[in-house]
Amino acid sequence: MKINCLLLFAFITLNVIAQKENIDTRVENLLNQMTLEEKVGQLNQYNDDGIATGPVTPDGDKEGQIRRGELGSMLNVIGVERVRQFQDIAMQSRLRIPLIFGQDVIHGYKTTFPIPLGEAASWDLKAMKLSARIAATEAAAGGVHWTFAPMIDIGRDPRWGRVMEGAGEDTYLGSLIAKARVEGFMGNGLGNTDAVMTCAKHFVAYGAVEGGRDYNSVDMSDRMLWETYLPPFKAAVDAGVSTFMNAFNDLNGIPATGSSYLQRDILKGKWNFEGFVVSDWGSVGQMIKHGYVKDGKEAAYAAITAGCDMDMESRSYKNNLVELVKEGRVNIALIDDAVRRILYKKFEMGLFDDPYKFCDIQREHDAFNNPEHTKASREIASKSIVLLKNENNLLPISPDVKTIAFIGPMVKEYKPNLGFWAIELPEVNYDKFIVSQWDGVQNRISKGTKLLYAKGCDIDGDNKDGFAEAVSVARQADIVIMSIGERWDMSGEAKSRSDIHIPGVQEELVKAIQATGKPIVVMINAGRPLVFNWIADNVPSILYTWWLGNEAGNAIADILFGDVNPSGKLPMTFPREVGQIPIYYNHFNTGHPAATDSTLFYTTAYIDLKTSPKFAFGHGLSYTEFEYSDIKLSKGKMKNTESTEVSFVIKNIGKYTGDEVVQLYLRDRVGSVVRPVKELKDFKKIRLNPNESKVIRFTITNDKLCFYNQKLEYKSEPGEFDVMIGSASDDIRLEGEFELIH
Ligand code: BGC
């Protein structure tokens, strides 16, 4: 058996090497035939004339350039037919080099899954891999070769609108999710008709923009960069990500797009990344606005020198690289390297063998109408919902309850359920395709149950005209479900908010309904952690539903009526007030650690606010309860060449079958640089029936104990470690300790 496996492994490895050599030869042959203009052409990506995800550069001659072989890629070209039109033109060019078509397939293509931050709340890596897999299948069938995903920026500031696209604040969780998503999109590998090229973005530290204002500057220590912001990108490289996108922000004064340190030294140097780097939309030209270069020519020079291979939309490469090479300022070897990387991917995708490989109308039709995709979307959506609070077990609701009032501005909406970065396909009737929250609940309740509706108010604005009707509807009901939140386009790119309270008069509407004395369940739809203290303190049951995708209504009904037991856990800390931001669970202890939630003279406290967040990282309840006991460590002392096993027992002591995400946190008590109060190092999502118990084991290896020291060496240090097993970062159930010996 062992020998068979070894032979198989050797066979696969030899095959991969042979395939690589074959592609390398084909790339070299082609490169040798290319003019300088054709080479530079490959390094450009233009938007189609329809939808745009950034400021478009007017260009009346796209088709001419494609025909002359002077364009490498396009984005936002929607649908097989349109892709075919452009590819047809590329096939009229001298060397018939196919175009690659990129698209922001962020959380689904036609089938729309929860926003990535919502999916991250599932802590279910298999589910996330599956949603990426399905998105890739549909996108590839729709003509897309390349997704600008996954977005793997660590986000610790909920004012930043783009936290909705990422996996939250934690580096460990974020790295695993990065891997899962890359693997999901690529399936059995590039070259298959259901695999798309991936793009790890935005390289790097974009999530740390000052004040959470999009596109802003970042000033950060190297140690923070290496420890917190780079690891998800390294995980993406290790998982075989095809491309990288650089970022809009400057990092310590150098725009990421023009940073040799990031792109040449780290990515292509230390990490040996063999794919190519695309700029963010217009970010090459934006270096002029940064005040980093004086004109487009210098922008092109700075970016190509720094290792940015493809210019998305700015035309800096198109307008200047040929001249820069002719003048001898840019060595042709730099251009050749960038072209090689791009051509390699085109060969790997099989586009030279069949440029229309992704243009099969029948496959597009089949992929868009696959009931398995809808089923998966519903399952992942229900796994993403987080039960923040459930006093007196108000939830789940019996589907036989006599009268339910369903109130709020989100109840009867369709498209907003998709959230930001959803793809709009012209031929899809979204009202038919999306299950609204109303439809989902209506379909689930028993025949004898009456469902009443009132909108109450809009998401924003101060109009309270609908309050009276909403109150009267609530009075007729046995239980009230309310669906409120921020508008779908209040989070996303360029959607930073200084005020992250629930907008408009929605919280007042909740107060008015609460005054009726009826039991209330509030569902909050949002792309980021919001602040809603009154609701959190006064309403008995709260569900955080993010933006759940096209199956939103069904997933919500599954949770409300207990067909699915909630299991989501927050991937980001929820602050009490904006003034607490940035707030994240794995902070340092400081010299004045807060002893209680409200003690003064402590650096982590404000005089007007408790120290703790409103809801902590990792928090999320279930309809059942779990009891943790019997923690054991296999060793009290561990050498750095050894491992220690932590085991404990978890038992479902409630009435419902449920999933729990058990979380392992470690703390290095003393380090040559200060260490966080706790760090997530492992987790497992497990299912238990009532009364069932299981022994859970985590293995602590030396790599879980390493960190970047003052010399930026990634090493562990001898000393004592705390072991914490929790249901959330602020709900540690079991503790232990061990000593590391070198
Ligand atoms: C965004 C990228 C996106 C690109 C193309 C930019 O504005 O920052 O994340 O991939 O547009 O749509």
Residue 602 confidence (pLDDT): 61
- Reduced to 3 states (helix: H, G, I; strand: E, B; else coil), residue 718 is coil
Burial class of residue 89, CB neighbours in 10 A (0-12, 13-18, 19+): middle
**Ligand 1 pocket: which residues have CB below 6 Å?**
53-54, 75, 104, 148, 201, 280-281, 493
Q: Which helix (H) or strand (E) holds 338?
A: helix 332-348
Q: Where are the beta strands (DSSP E) in 370-434?
A: 386-390, 403-407
Q: What's the average model confidence in pLDDT over 425-451? A: 94
* Residue 600: band (very low, low, confident or very high) from pLDDT cuts 50, 70, 90: low
* Residue 487: band (very low, low, confident or very high) from pLDDT cuts 50, 70, 90: very high
| Closest C-alpha among 46, 53, 5 to residue 493 | 53
Using CA atoms, how far residue 96 sits from 317, 319, 490, 579, in Å, is 21, 22, 43, 57
Worst-scoring range by mean pLDDT, 50-59, 144-153, 287-296, 505-514?
50-59
Using CA atoms, how far residue 734 sits from 626, 661, 731, in Å, is 13, 14, 9
CA dihedral 271, 277, 282, 288 (to 10 degrees): 50
The single-letter code of the amino acid at 25 is: T
Long-range CB pairs of 502-505 (<8 Å, 24+ gap) are 502/530, 502/531, 502/532, 502/535, 503/459, 503/460, 504/457, 504/458, 504/459, 504/460, 504/461, 504/462, 505/457, 505/461, 505/462, 505/463, 505/464
Q: What's the average model confidence in pLDDT over 555-570? A: 98
Encode pLDDT of 396-419 as tens digits: 999 889 999 999 999 999 999 999
Best residue among 280, 284, 286 to mutate for probing ligand 1's pocket (most ligand atoms within 8 Å of CB) is: 280
Q: What's the average model confidence in pLDDT over 186-204? A: 98
φ/ψ of 700, rounded to 5, equals -95, 115
Q: What's the average model confidence in pLDDT over 55-73? A: 92
Distance, CA of 279 to CA of 244 (rounded, Å): 8
Best residue among 51, 56, 148, 197 to mutate for probing ligand 1's pocket (most ligand atoms within 8 Å of CB) is: 148
With pLDDT > 90 as the criterion, what percentage of the chain qualifies?
91
Question: Do the Cβ atoms of 209 and 216 come closer than 8 Å?
Answer: yes
DSSP 267: I
The single-letter code of the amino acid at 487 is: R
Distance between Cα 417 and ligand 1 center (Å): 21
Encode pLDDT of 237-247 as tens digits: 999 999 999 99
With pLDDT > 70 as the criterion, what percentage of the chain qualifies?
97
Distance, CA of 269 to CA of 290 (rounded, Å): 26
DSSP 229: I
CA 679 to chain centre: 20
Match 């919902």 to its residue by tokens. Answer: 385
Task: Give the CA count within 13 Å in the CB-facing half-sphere of 716.
Answer: 24
Distance, CA of 309 to CA of 318 (rounded, Å): 12
Q: What is the CB neighbour count within 10 angstroms for residue 354?
A: 12
Q: What's the average model confidence in pLDDT over 19-47? A: 96
Residue 116 confidence (pLDDT): 98
User: Using CA positions, which residue lies closest to atom 4 of ligand 1?
Assistant: 281
User: Using CA positions, which residue lies closest to atom 12 of ligand 1?
Assistant: 53
Q: What's the average model confidence in pLDDT over 389-393? A: 97
* Residue 392: band (very low, low, confident or very high) from pLDDT cuts 50, 70, 90: very high
Find the DSSP H helices in 589-655.
none
User: What residues are paired with 698 via a beta bridge?
Assistant: 646
* Residue 316: band (very low, low, confident or very high) from pLDDT cuts 50, 70, 90: very high
Distance between Cα 600 and ligand 1 center (Å): 44
Q: What's the average model confidence in pLDDT over 475-485? A: 98
Residue 400 confidence (pLDDT): 83
* Residue 89: band (very low, low, confident or very high) from pLDDT cuts 50, 70, 90: very high
Q: What's the average model confidence in pLDDT over 544-560? A: 98
* Strand pairing report for 44-47 and 311-312: parallel
* Residue 155: band (very low, low, confident or very high) from pLDDT cuts 50, 70, 90: very high
Encode pLDDT of 356-374 as tens digits: 999 999 999 999 999 999 9
Question: Do the Cβ atoms of 128 and 110 come closer than 8 Å?
Answer: no
Best residue among 493, 495, 496 to mutate for probing ligand 1's pocket (most ligand atoms within 8 Å of CB) is: 493
Distance, CA of 574 to CA of 231 (rounded, Å): 23
Distance between Cα 443 and ligand 1 center (Å): 38
Residue 17 confidence (pLDDT): 81
Q: Choose the catalytic residue: 124, 214, 280, 659.
A: 280
Distance between Cα 280 and ligand 1 center (Å): 6
Task: Give the CA count within 13 Å in the CB-facing half-sphere of 80.
Answer: 18
Distance between Cα 420 and ligand 1 center (Å): 12
* Strand pairing report for 250-251 and 254-255: antiparallel
Q: What's the average model confidence in pLDDT over 117-145? A: 98
Residue 1 reports pLDDT greater than 60: no
Residue 248 Cα: closest atom of ligand 1:
8
Distance, CA of 449 to CA of 435 (rounded, Å): 20
Distance between Cα 53 and ligand 1 center (Å): 6
Distance between Cα 392 and ligand 1 center (Å): 45
Match 């790599």 to its residue by tokens. Answer: 703
Buried b (16+ CB within 10 A) or exposed e, 292-331: bbeebbbbbbbbbbbbbbbbbbbbbbbbbbbebbeeeebe
Q: What is the mean pLDDT of the chain?
A: 96
Distance between Cα 201 and ligand 1 center (Å): 9
Residue 475 confidence (pLDDT): 98
Question: Do the Cβ atoms of 219 and 264 come closer than 8 Å?
Answer: no
Q: What is the CB neighbour count within 10 angstroms for residue 489?
A: 13
Distance between Cα 117 and ligand 1 center (Å): 17
Cβ-Cβ contacts under 8 Å for 62 (sequence gap 6 or more): 46, 49, 71
Q: Is 280 a catalytic residue?
A: yes
Encode pLDDT of 522-536 as tens digits: 999 999 999 999 999
DSSP 416: G
User: What residues are paired with 484 via a beta bridge?
Assistant: 524
Question: Do the Cβ atoms of 485 and 525 come closer than 8 Å?
Answer: yes
Q: What's the average model confidence in pLDDT over 19-37? A: 96
Residue 601 confidence (pLDDT): 64
User: Using CA positions, which residue lies closest to atom 6 of ligand 1?
Assistant: 281
* Residue 338: band (very low, low, confident or very high) from pLDDT cuts 50, 70, 90: very high
Distance between Cα 652 and ligand 1 center (Å): 44
pTM over 0.75: yes
Residue 247 Cα: closest atom of ligand 1:
8
| Closest C-alpha among 161, 177, 170 to residue 120 | 177
Q: What's the average model confidence in pLDDT over 214-239? A: 98
